Amino acid sequence: MKVAHFDPAQLDPQIRRDRRVRVATLLLALTAPAVMVMADLHWRTGYDLWKVLHLAIFTLLFTLVALGSVQAIIGLVIRRRGEPFAITHSVDFATDLERLDAPTAVVMPICNEEVRRVIEGLRAAYESVAASGQLAACDFYLLSDSNNPNRWIEEEAAWVALTQELAAHGRIFYRKRRVGINKKAGNIADFCRRWGSRYKYMVVLDADSIMSGGAISKLVRLMERNPGVGLIQGVPMLVNGETILARLQQFASRLYGPCASAGLNYWTLSEANYWGHNAIIRLDPFIRHCSLPELPGDGPFGGRILSHDYVEAALMRRAGWQVWLATDLDGNYEECPGNLIDLAKRDRRWLQGNLQHTRLIVARGLNPVNRVHFILGILSYLASPLWLVLLVLSGIIAWHVDRMDPARYANVGFAQHLHWSLQGQSITLFAYTMALLFLPKVLALFDLKRRPADAQAFGGWSAIIQGMLLETGIFTLLAPVLMLFHSKFIALTLCRQNVSWGSQRRGREGAAAAWEEAIGEHWGHTLAGVVSAVIAYRIDPRLAAWMSPVLLGMIASIPLSFITGSLDAGLALKRHGIFLTPDETQPTPELISVTQHMEGVEPARPVPDELEGDYGLLQAVLDPYVNAVHGALLRSKDELPSASELRFETLRSKLVQYGPQSLTPKEKVALLQDGESVRLLHDQVWSAPTEELAPWWRVAISHYSRVAPLPQTPFSRQVAA
C-alpha cells in the first residue's frame, strides 16, 4: 500500500468538514429508518407518555450503536484504501534514521500498583530505547503517589535495584510526593513544575504500559517533524491477560480495534482525544495551557477534575495545538482488569470523571469536536441506565399491549403495505439492531481476510471464529451485569457519594476474585435477575424469552464473575488456542522481556503472616539497605519545632515497645516520612534488648536470623515444653 506523504500543518479544514458530514450522514441513514420503524410500532398501539419516552431513549441508544458501526464501516474502507491523513504518514520512518536529540522524559505515574510489574514495564521500555540507540536523549521517571507504606518502600528498593542492574544511575529517576494532591494529573503537573523545562517532550505511560523504544522514537520523530502538534495518542494493544475476562478483552480489542480506531481517526483527525497514557506530549504548551483548573462547587460535579485526559486534550486544542491519534503505532501495549469486579471498580473511577465533564461541554472556547468527545464519554456510561430504563419501559409497554385487542393494531401504519404483524415488526427491528451491533465484528473479519499472516497470528480461522463466538456469548451475558453496575455507580455519584481512587488488581492478582467477593458484589444482580424474570414471565412468557440473555446474565452473575476471573480457566483456553492474539503468538522483545522477568523472579522467603501487613515499615526500619535508601530519599528538613520532635519521639517509643499495631496508619506514614525517625528507629530496634521489644519486632528480627529453625522432633518438642 503506497501512501502519500502527509503534512498535518497543511491539512485542509474542508477535509475535516467533509469527513464529519459523511459520518453524520451515514449515521442518519442508519439510525432514521430504525427510529421510524420504532415510532410506527408505537403508533400502531397508540402513543402515551411511556412510548414517547421509550422512543426518545431508543433514538439516543440506537445512534450510539450506529456510530460504532459507522466507524467500523469507514475504518474497513480506510484500511483497504489507505489513510492519506494519518499522522504516522508524516514521517518516512524507513529513511529517517537520524539520532534524536530532543530531550524526552518517559514518565510513569504510579499509585499503589504491583511494584514488580511496574518495574518490568519500565525495564522493557528502557532496554528497548537503549537498543534503538536513542537513550542519550531520554530520561525515565517513576512518579509515585503511593500511600500504602508497603508499596512505597518496595518501590524505592526496586528502583535502586533496577538502576543498578541497568547501570542507569542518573537516567532512571524516582519521585514520591508527600501529599498526592489532584491524583494522577497532579502527579504529572508536579513533574512538569519541577523538571518539565528540561525536556521538550514527555511520553506518558501508565503503570501497566509497555512501550518499545521503536514506538517512543517514532513518536518523538513525529513531534519533531510536526511542530504544530501538541499531543499524539497511541492506540495501545491489550496484552498479558491470563484470566478469561482479560484474554477476552485483549482478543476483542486486537481483532476489532484496528477498524474502530481507523474509523475514529477518520473523523477526528487533528482534533483527536487523549486517553491519559501511551501518548507523547509537547511540554511547553502543555505547561502553559493544560494545567487543570478546579471546577466551581464541590461534590461529584465540582472540585478537582478527576478524568484529566479529555480536558487536557481540549485545553491543548483550545490553545491552537493539534492533537492526533496514531492508529498504527506498533510496540504500544497496556493491560486490562482481570475480573469483572475489578473492571467495575475501574469503570466507577472513570464514570465519575466522565460525568464531571458534563459541565465542560459548555466551557467557553473549546473546540466543538472536544465537546463531542466529552458527550461521547458521558454517554458511554450514561447508556447503561438508559438501557435499563429502556428494558423496564419495554416491559411496561408489552404489558399494556398484551391487554389490548389485537384487531386494533392489525393492519395500520406500515403494516398496511408490509403485512407486518406486531411481533414480526418487533423482530425486524431487533434483527436490525443486532445486525448493527455485530457488524463491527463481521467487518473485522473482512479486514483480517486480506491479511492472512495476521489471521495465522490469531491462531488461524478456526480459532478466530471460536474465539469470536465465545467472546460474543460471554460479553452478552456480562453486559447486563455491567449495566447494573454502571447504573448503581451513576446513582451513587448523583447522590454525591464520592469515588475513592484505589488501585485495581490485574492479571494474576485479578484472577483471585474469590467466591466470597463475587457473592458479595453480585447477589443484588442475581436477585434483580430473578425478580425481573418472574415479572417478565407473568406479563408474557414470550417477553421473558426475548429478555432471556439479559436475565440469564443477571441471574448467573456470581458464577460468571468467578469463572471469567479465573486464572486456571483462562490459561486452559489459552492452551486450547482460544483468544490467542498476535502479541501472544509473535511477542515482541519487550513483551518477552516483561514475561521472562516476571516469571524469573526467585521465590522470596515467605513472610510470616503477622508481619505482612506492615512489611514495608519492617523493611524501612530493620533492613540496613532499605533503611539507608529510604532515609536518603526523604527530604532533609530544617530543625523541627520541639513539639514535633516530642511527638515523633513518643511515636518511636510506642512503635518499639508495642509494635506497629499501636500506631494509626497516619502515624506510621508520619514516622516513615521523618528522616531522623527512620534513622533512629533502625539503631533503636536493632540495639534494644529482646525484652524491651514488642513481640512483633522479635518476630521481625528473627526474619533476618541466619540460623534455620530446628526441625520438629520429639526431643525438640520436649525442650520447648
Partner 1 sequence: MFTGSMKGRLFRGRRRGGEAVIRPVATLAERWDDAFLRVESYLHAHGIRSPMIVNRIATQTVDEARQAAVADPAAEPVALAMAKLQQAMAHWYRTVLGEQDLPEEVLRAKGRLALVMNRSEPGWTQQFLAPDSVHPELAMALREARLQPGPEVQLTNMPPAPLEFMINPDERSTAPGLRGHGLVQAAALWVFILGALGAAWAASH
Q: Does 359 bind partner 1 (CB under 8 A)?
A: yes
Q: Does 409 bind partner 1 (CB under 8 A)?
A: no
Q: Does 36 bind partner 1 (CB under 8 A)?
A: yes
Q: Does 421 bind partner 1 (CB under 8 A)?
A: no
Distances (CA, A) of 47 to 5, 39, 50, 571, 702: 56, 9, 8, 53, 78
Query: Dihedral (C-alpha) 191, 193, 199, 203: value to the nearest 10 degrees?
Result: 40
312 or 335, CB closer to partner 1? 312
Among 405, 689, 714, 715, binds partner 1 (CB under 8 A): 689
Question: Which range in 85-93, 121-129, 248-256, 287-295 contacts partner 1 by CB under 8 A?
Answer: 287-295
Q: Does 162 bind partner 1 (CB under 8 A)?
A: no
Q: Does 649 bind partner 1 (CB under 8 A)?
A: no
346 or 679, CB closer to partner 1? 679
Question: Is the Cβ–Cβ distance between 716 and 710 less than 8 Å?
Answer: yes
Cα 312 to Cα 128: distance, rounded to the nearest angstrom: 29
Name 107's bridge partners: 141, 204
Q: Which amino acid is at 391?
A: L
Angle at 286 between CA 330 and CA 18, to 5 degrees: 65
Among 417, 419, 575, 666, binds partner 1 (CB under 8 A): 417
Q: Does 610 bind partner 1 (CB under 8 A)?
A: yes
Q: Does 151 bind partner 1 (CB under 8 A)?
A: no
Q: Which amino acid is at 238?
A: L
187 or 243, CB closer to partner 1? 187
175 or 505, CB closer to partner 1? 175
Question: How many CB atoms lie under 10 A from the CB of residue 422?
Answer: 16
100 or 290, CB closer to partner 1? 290
108 or 192, CB closer to partner 1? 192
Among 6, 16, 540, 585, binds partner 1 (CB under 8 A): 16
| Number of residues binding to partner 1, judged by CB under 8 A | 102
Among 3, 7, 9, 21, binds partner 1 (CB under 8 A): 21
Residue 441 beta carbon to partner 1: minimum distance, rounded to whole angstroms: 26
288 or 496, CB closer to partner 1? 288
Distances (CA, A) of 390 to 59, 62, 69, 687: 11, 11, 21, 70
215 or 681, CB closer to partner 1? 681
461 or 658, CB closer to partner 1? 658
Residue 396 beta carbon to partner 1: minimum distance, rounded to whole angstroms: 24
Which is it for the CA torsion 196, 200, 205, 211, positive or negative? negative
User: What does the DSSP 8-state code read for residue 691?
Assistant: G
Q: Does 83 bind partner 1 (CB under 8 A)?
A: no
Q: Does 66 bind partner 1 (CB under 8 A)?
A: no
Among 219, 443, 629, 681, binds partner 1 (CB under 8 A): 629
Q: Does 32 bind partner 1 (CB under 8 A)?
A: yes
Among 631, 645, 654, 658, binds partner 1 (CB under 8 A): 631
Question: Is the Cβ–Cβ distance between 329 and 91 less than 8 Å?
Answer: no
Q: Provide the grid cell at 264.
A: 475514529
Q: Does 360 bind partner 1 (CB under 8 A)?
A: yes
114 or 312, CB closer to partner 1? 312
376 or 699, CB closer to partner 1? 699
Give the contacts of 54 (CB within 8 A, at least 6 positions apart).
Answer: 42, 390, 393, 394, 397
Residue 653 beta carbon to partner 1: minimum distance, rounded to whole angstroms: 16
Q: Does 704 bind partner 1 (CB under 8 A)?
A: yes
How far out from the chain centre does Cα 92 lie? Answer: 32
Question: Is the Cβ–Cβ distance between 352 and 300 less than 8 Å?
Answer: yes
Among 10, 94, 98, 365, binds partner 1 (CB under 8 A): 365
User: What does the DSSP 8-state code read for residue 143?
Assistant: E
Q: Does 126 bind partner 1 (CB under 8 A)?
A: no
Q: Which of residues 179-238 bind partner 1 (CB under 8 A)?
A: 189, 192-198
Cα 641 to Cα 77: distance, rounded to the nearest angstrom: 70
Q: Does 422 bind partner 1 (CB under 8 A)?
A: no
Among 509, 623, 645, 667, binds partner 1 (CB under 8 A): 623
Among 179, 638, 708, 714, binds partner 1 (CB under 8 A): 708
Give the contacts of 167 (CB within 8 A, at least 6 positions apart).
Answer: none
What does the DSSP assignment read for 555-617? Answer: HTHHHHHHHHT-HHHHHHHHHTTTT--HHHHS--HHHHHHHHHHHSSPPPPPPPHHHHTTHHH
Cα 208 to Cα 122: distance, rounded to the nearest angstrom: 9
Question: How many CB atoms lie under 10 A from the CB of residue 175?
Answer: 18
Q: Does 173 bind partner 1 (CB under 8 A)?
A: yes
Q: Does 691 bind partner 1 (CB under 8 A)?
A: yes
Q: Which of residues 495-554 bind partner 1 (CB under 8 A)?
A: none
Q: Which amino acid is at 422?
A: L
Q: Which of residues 237-276 bind partner 1 (CB under 8 A)?
A: 271
Helix or strand (DSSP H, E) at 416? helix 415-418
Question: Which range in 209-217, 274-282, 366-374, 666-674 contacts partner 1 by CB under 8 A?
Answer: 366-374
CA-closest candidate to residue 420, choices 14, 11, 41: 41
Q: Does 413 bind partner 1 (CB under 8 A)?
A: yes
Among 102, 166, 287, 391, binds partner 1 (CB under 8 A): 287
CA-closest candidate to residue 527, choices 499, 500, 551: 551
Q: Provide the grid cell at 664.
A: 494509626
Cα 155 to Cα 170: distance, rounded to the nearest angstrom: 17
Residue 481 beta carbon to partner 1: minimum distance, rounded to whole angstroms: 36
Among 624, 637, 650, 661, binds partner 1 (CB under 8 A): 624
Question: Is the Cβ–Cβ distance between 253 and 440 less than 8 Å?
Answer: no
What does the DSSP assignment read for 610-640? Answer: HHHTTHHHHHHHH-HHHHHHHHHHSPP-PPP
Question: Which range in 94-102, 114-122, 591-599, 687-695 contacts partner 1 by CB under 8 A?
Answer: 687-695
Residue 647 beta carbon to partner 1: minimum distance, rounded to whole angstroms: 20
Which is it for the CA torsion 461, 467, 471, 473, positive or negative? positive
159 or 251, CB closer to partner 1? 159
589 or 631, CB closer to partner 1? 631
Q: Which amino acid is at 322?
A: Q
Name 140's bridge partners: 106, 172
Residue 85 beta carbon to partner 1: minimum distance, rounded to whole angstroms: 15
Q: Which of residues 289-328 bind partner 1 (CB under 8 A)?
A: 289-296, 315, 317-318, 320
